Chain A
Amino acid sequence: MTHTEIDRLDAPQQPKNVDPGPSTQGGGNRCDGPGPDPADATRFRRPLCEANPAACFILDQRATILSCSRYAGELLGYPIEELLGRSFLTISPEQEKAEALRWLQESLSRPGEIVQAEFRKICRDGSALWVNQKGRAVPEDGEAVVLVALEEIGGRRSAVAALEQNEARYRAIVEGVDALIYVCSPDYRIEFMNRRLIERAGKDGTGELCYQALHGLDSVCPWCVNDRVARGETVRWEVQSPKDGHWFYVVDTPIRNADGRISKQAFMQDVTERRTADEARLRRVTSSAQDAILMMDSEGRISSWNSAAEEILGYQKEEAIGKNLYQLLVPECQVKAYCQALPDFLRSGSGNAVGKTIEIQARRKDGRDIDVDLSLSAISLNGELQATGIIRDISERKKAEQVLRESEEKFRQLAENIREVFYVLNATGDRALYVSPAYEQIWGRSRENVYQDPSAWLETIHPDDRKRIRQLTAKRQRDKALELEFRIRTPDGTEKWIRSQSFPVLDGTGKVARVVGIAEETTTQKRYEEELIRAREGAEAASRAKSMFLATMSHELRTPLNAILGFAELLELEMSQRGIHDWHTELRKIRGAGNHLLDLISDVMDLSKIEAGKMELNPTSFDLDALVQEVAASVEPLAAKNKIQLHAASAPAIVHADRTRVRQCLFNLVGNACKFTHDGHVTIQVTMDNCEKGGCCAIRVADTGIGIHAEDLEKIFGDFTQADASTTRKFGGTGLGLAISRKLSRMMGGDITVESTPGRGSTFTLCFPATLRDEIGS
């Protein structure tokens, strides 16, 4: 094209040689001039140039643009006027100007020849345009001009440049990255090795077989993944170099060539450091682990064995490594299942036991089978699946579980067989966790009701009790035991009494964890209780009636007695005032009998009070010696009458006791002694035994009277008894004195005892608890 354009520009110069073909082809008609005159050639050269549809210039020897085509202006974005007269070099980029000048000079030095070169031109908008620049120097007016045609090549040129740039970048990456890279064809020919790989291999093995160049092998490496890459797969794996033991992370990527072949790009990164660190970390983890951690290779051989494994399974590491797992650890009963599952696992990394924890038995070195938790996971290593097993010894746990189960069974048997309802509630008491079957027997309802609706049992409560129980349960303190008693109604309308006791069960922190309780039917007890209460009420009423009766009797007996004794006294007074003594003895007898009757009434009242528990003690501090002397003085008339030497030994002590009752007892004893003694002695002696610390006081009343036969010694303390029925008539008295005195002394915590020899005398001893005091007071 360009040659043609130049030829065409040049045509006027060599009109006879004009090639008619091209001129007809590329606007040659414009070249058709009036004739082949050389002056015409010069004359027509510029208009022809201007009208040329290509980008054409005519330059002088100094590169001044003498003429240019319209299209050249359009191509470069200049109006033609701006281009005419300026140097052609000015539209070259700075760095190409020298080159462009050399091109011009070369064109001038080889007139008639086409000199061509590729240049950039700077357009008016500053952009660069790649052009193929052809020139031919022709003579004009004795000088030479250069005809120039520009052919635009920008598109092709920039694609190549981009390609070159990409390649440079890629190369920089390939060489700059800290990795070994090579590309090899499907038939194992190395197509490329990066510098690092060349350094490592010691040579550039491009064109050689990869297994020879890289591994020094005679045949394809056993681990080669070319097949898979050739199928378009990217394969990532880690491999240990047999050369120096370094670990490499390998990414093999398929690269599609222009002819459709797939090459393999191998990218290998040295990860030895990371792996070493990982392994060290792993070792630290496994060696300190409580669980046995072991690994198994693709053949099922043990490849790793930590210290916990040694302990749990009994084999030392040296014994275990390399052994087949099932030979070592799997009990016979499980060998079959294991051997069936292994190939699947090794192929796919999946299986029943993978990715979860199963309970299984393992055989120890000593032959003992132990319960273990086994967690199995699959790891892909060097393209091979490895199994990692974590084995936890759970025999202790299993044992504990067994114990728990047995204990739970015992508890369950107990809970389910007792007649009482045993129940367990949650901490807030609003959900039933367990209710024993007795509930169904007692309540006549299904336990399901209670499980489903915890308030259901409230509905079973007798309407009269329900409100009370609801209030009690609502305001119960969660951490306190609660006892409830209420009636229920069974579906058949039976009313039953229930007693329920519940207790909180605390957890380790003292919080309420659960509430447990027992509910029992107490209908029968309740009936007994009610009967008992009725009986007690009846007894109490009877006792009250008795007391009332006695009080009334006493009152009613005393009233006529008052008249009897009063009138006897009045008669005696008035008769003596009148000097009448005839009936004196009889009146005395009336008064004696009346007074005896009165004593009887008093004693019966005392006995009744003691028996009814109505006799109350009223201890005060008093002078015991004064009391003894007082009693002695009051029986002195009787003693004198019976010719008795009455001797009361001094007892200087202030004691704390019920004075009235002590006096009553002592009076009775001394009175008896004087009554049953004639012409003899009665002595009163006081001994204190350990009274400082609340000991006892003993008062001995000894007489030289008639004495008591051994067989009568206990009888005399009975009600209405004297040793001899005749004695009452002979000696007087109600026969109740000793009975009352002994009862009183026993009420005080003491007693009255007796020693006697018939015919020689008796000794009665009153003892009662008494505390020595410093002074009189209550």
Chain B
Amino acid sequence: MARILVVEDDADNQELVIRFLKHERHEVVLAPDGLAGVRAAQEHLPELILMDLGLPVLDGWEAAQLIRKNSATAHIPIIALTAHALSEEVTRAVESGINDYELKPVVYQRLMKKIERFLSLAPEAPVAPRA
């Protein structure tokens, strides 16, 4: 059981991820855009962040960079959930400091296993963004 920040603007997707996470008894904090996501990360200091990339206000890449820049949140693992299937977008995401990603449509039970793996690796050392 962990506190997980979900940054997602689409209502269906919000509901889906929240319900799967609740099945796994995780505590969910929800942020509807990138900037809210960055603030929520600072405020709630979640153990893991699920981040959509195509987000309003601040997109996922920018939000990930800001989270990595803040020493309080720099270590939190971020898994991107994205419908951007092109390889260059994935590369950009990794460069922004994202630890892993799942392509939409997400196979949620697989995602849950991935989350468990990340959480089991705790306590996490801060992960610096790659150059």
Which A residues are within 8 Å of any B CB, using their own CB?
Answer: 551, 554-556, 558-559, 561-567, 569-570, 573, 594, 598, 601-602, 605
Q: What would 8 more interface pairs be, CB under 8 Å, given A563-B13, A570-B16?
A: A554-B84, A555-B83, A558-B105, A559-B10, A564-B105, A565-B106, A569-B108, A570-B19
CB contact list, B58-111 vs A, under 8 A: 83-86, 103-109
A594 to B106, CA, bound (A): 12
Partner of B83, one of A562, A566, A573: A562
* Nearest 9 pairs of A and B residues by beta carbon: A558-B83, A562-B105, A562-B104, A563-B12, A566-B16, A565-B105, A555-B83, A561-B105, A558-B104
Assembled-state Cα–Cα distance A503/B73 (Å)? 68
Q: Given A554-B85, A563-B13, answer yes or no on A570-B108 (Cβ-Cβ < 8 Å).
A: yes
Does B129 make an interface contact (CB < 8 A)? no
* Given A566-B16, A570-B20, A573-B23, residue A558 in contact with residue B85 (CB < 8 A): yes
B residues less than 8 Å from A570 (CB atoms): 16, 19-20, 108
Partner of A566 from the list B23, B54, B84, B108 (CB cut-off 8 Å) is B108
- Report whether A555 and B106 are in contact in the complex, using a CB–CB cutoff of 8 Å: no
Given A554-B85, A554-B86, A555-B84, residue A566 in contact with residue B106 (CB < 8 A): yes
Count chain A CB atoms within 10 A of each CB in B83, B103, B108 and give the residue with the most.
B83
User: Binary interface profile of B, 4-31, with partner A (CB < 8 Å = 1, else 0)?
Assistant: 0000001011001001100100000000
Q: In the complex, what distance in Å separates the CA atom of A467 from the CA atom of B85?
A: 51
- Complex CA–CA separation, A562 to B108 (angstroms): 10
The listed residue with most A CB atoms (<10 A of its CB), out of B16, B23, B103, is B16
Interface of B toward A, CB cutoff 8 Å: 10, 12-13, 16, 19-20, 23, 54, 83-86, 103-109
Q: Least Cβ distance of B80 to chain A in Å? A: 13
Q: What residues on B are CB-neighbors of A601 within 8 Å?
A: 85
Whole-angstrom CA separation of A555 from B55 in the bound complex: 13
Point out the residues of chain A lying under 8 angstroms from B106, CB to CB: 562, 565-566
User: In whole angstroms, what is the CA distance A559 to B106 when docked?
Assistant: 10
Q: Which of A551, A566, A567, A594 is in CB contact (< 8 Å) with B86?
A: A551
Which residues of B sit under 8 angstroms from A565, Cβ to Cβ? 105-107
Q: Would you call B103 and A558 a contact (CB within 8 A)?
A: yes
- Whose C-beta in chain A lies nearest to the C-beta of B89? A551
Give the Cβ gap from B68 to chain A, nearest Cβ, in Å.
24
Give CA–CA (A561, B103) in the complex, Å.
Answer: 11
Contact residues in A for B54 (Cβ distance below 8 Å): 555
Give CA–CA (A602, B85) in the complex, Å: 8
Interchain CB contact under 8 A, B83 and A554? yes
CA gap between A565 and B83 in the complex, in Å: 13
Given A562-B13, A563-B12: A569 and B107 interface contact (C-beta under 8 Å):
yes
A563 touches B16 (CB 8 A): yes
A616 to chain B, nearest CB (A): 9
Q: How far is the CB of A630 from chain B (nearest CB, A)?
A: 18
Complex CA gap A13/B54 in Å reads: 182
- A551 and B84 in contact, given A563-B13, A573-B23 (Cβ under 8 angstroms): yes
Q: List 29 A-B contacts (CB under 8 A).
A: A551-B86, A558-B83, A559-B10, A559-B13, A559-B83, A561-B105, A562-B16, A562-B83, A562-B106, A563-B10, A563-B12, A563-B13, A563-B16, A565-B105, A565-B107, A566-B12, A566-B16, A566-B108, A567-B16, A569-B107, A569-B108, A569-B109, A570-B16, A570-B108, A573-B20, A573-B109, A598-B105, A605-B85, A605-B86
Contacts of A551 in B (CB 8 A): 84, 86
How many angstroms between the C-alpha atoms of A566 and B106 in the bound complex?
7
Chain B residues with Cβ under 8 A from A573's Cβ? Answer: 20, 23, 109
Nearest residue (CB) in A for B107 is A569
What distance in Å separates the Cβ of B92 from its nearest Cβ neighbour in chain A?
Answer: 13
Give chain A nearest CB distance to B116 CB in angstroms.
Answer: 16
Query: Which chain A residues border B10 with CB–CB below 8 Å?
Result: 559, 563
A562 proximity list for chain B (CB < 8 A): 12-13, 16, 83, 104-106
Known contacts A555-B54, A559-B10, A573-B23; is-contact A566 B85 (Cβ 8 Å): no
Contacts of A556 in B (CB 8 A): 83
**Contact partners of A561 in chain B: CB under 8 A:** 104-105
Chain B residues with CB under 8 A of A564: 105
A619 CB, nearest partner CB in chain B, Å = 16
The chain A residue sitting closest to B84, CB to CB, is A555
Q: A555-B54, A559-B10 are in contact. Are A566 and B109 (CB under 8 A)?
A: no
Q: Chain A contacts of B83 at CB under 8 A?
A: 554-556, 558-559, 562
* Across-interface contacts of B16 in A (CB, < 8 A): 562-563, 566-567, 570
- Give the residues in chain A near B23, CB-CB below 8 Å: 573
**Shortest beta-carbon distance, A711 to chain B, in Å?**
36
